[in-house]
Amino acid sequence: MNVRWVLLFLLAIAAPALAQGFAGLGTSAEGFAMPQKAHPPVFPGDHGAHPDYRVEWWYLTANLTGEDGRDYGAQWTLFRFALAPGTGESWQTPQLWMGHAAVTTPDQHVSAERLARGGIGQAGVVLTPFSANIDSWRMDSRAGPDSDPMSALDVSAAGAGFAYRLGLTATGPLVLHGDRGYSVKSAQGQASYYYSQPFYAVKGTLTLDGRDIAVTGQAWFDHEWSSQPLGADQSGWDWFSFHFDTGEKLMGFRLRDEGAGFTSGTWIGADGQVEPLPPGALTAEPLEWAEVRGRTVPIRWKLSLPFRGLDITTRALNDAAWMDTQVSYWEGPVRIEGSHPGRGYVEMTGY
């Protein structure tokens, strides 16, 4: 394995967008399905995989506090990439799976990666009961038959020097971003299906270098799928998921391009009430940069959402929360200060 072909995945995601732009309303030239504003996601069916779309991920980030009183972060992600739409028999399935897992402490950031082919049972997502896995990493629903499968999850992963088992229980509803789950990603109209479950209460165990640490905290789950998420000139994104002490949540992202960039997000009330943010309403600016693994990344942000009176800065739990995976990026827990204190996760790609 090497970096180049994984980059090819991502190029495969971005490249058609270059060529296609917004022209192919229904499907892309390769036959991939495209998100349709008129067809919002339907649950529980859409918790599963969408092999006709080019790319998809199930993404969990958790802000945790240990019995030792320290802050921790944990990440569990399953990516799906399609070389071609649809499924096939056994090895002929054109679906590839990638898992990322990480644990962040104030002085340590450990991560791991798994790759797998679809069609042979090594990795995938099944619906009833909901279960996502790659190798030994699992995300299994333990929700009752009448509740949303995502309302209660067991999540586990292990890598060199770390492991975790987390029990997740949702205290609020699912949250659909954008227009009932249709999330626009650029001024040109690239879009994805995107929903979250930001209301998890977490209880579990981290194992670091053979030492078990009982943890509690909050977690945020994202599920997003698309066939053309990035615009032609977009070089990367900064993504924020915040739990404020008030119980309110904020999802915001900034897609960087040659110009001012494209920001959008969702304000989520403590009761789960959703307020999509119009493009440009949220501003995010780097306050402080640091050199991490040879790249220069922002480690403090200033975000503001004037009409909500939001004016906050973030501080990374560990500046070096670099995902040392084939495609590398920064992903780590932050503390929030300012008008709305709290905790959250920041993801920065393309640096």
Site residues, another protein (CB under 8 A): 1-2, 4-5, 8, 83-84, 88, 90-92, 94, 96, 115-117, 120-122, 133, 135-136, 158-160, 163, 210
Q: How far is the CB of 134 from another protein (least distance, A)?
A: 9
Q: How far is the CB of 14 from another protein (least distance, A)?
A: 16
Residue placing its CB nearer to another protein in the complex, 14 or 292? 14
Task: Decide: 277 and 267 in contact? Cβ < 8 Å.
Answer: yes
Q: For residue 247, give the DSSP letter.
A: S
Asked if the bond preceding 198 is cis, omega within 30° of 0, the reply is no
Task: Tell me the C-alpha distance between 345 and 334, whole Å.
Answer: 6
Residues facing residue 334 across a β-bridge: 316, 344
Residue 212: CB partners within 8 Å, gap ≥ 6? 205, 206
Q: For residue 131, give the DSSP letter.
A: E
Residues facing residue 140 across a β-bridge: 131, 154
Distance of CA 40 to the CA centre of its chain: 19
Q: How far is the CB of 1 from another protein (least distance, A)?
A: 6
Q: How far is the CB of 141 from another protein (least distance, A)?
A: 18
Q: Which residues of 319-337 are buried (b: 16+ CB within 10 A; e: fewer)?
A: bbbbbebbebbbbbbbebe
Q: How far is the CB of 58 from another protein (least distance, A)?
A: 17
Residues facing residue 73 across a β-bridge: 63, 104
Residue placing its CB nearer to another protein in the complex, 9 or 72? 9
CA atoms within 13 A on the CB side of 151: 12
Other CB atoms within 10 Å distance of the CB of residue 84: 15
Residue placing its CB nearer to another protein in the complex, 30 or 148? 30
Q: How far is the CB of 110 from another protein (least distance, A)?
A: 12
Q: How far is the CB of 122 from another protein (least distance, A)?
A: 5
Other CB atoms within 10 Å distance of the CB of residue 130: 21
Q: How far is the CB of 236 from another protein (least distance, A)?
A: 22
Encoded tokens for 13: 């995601």
Residue placing its CB nearer to another protein in the complex, 89 or 258? 89
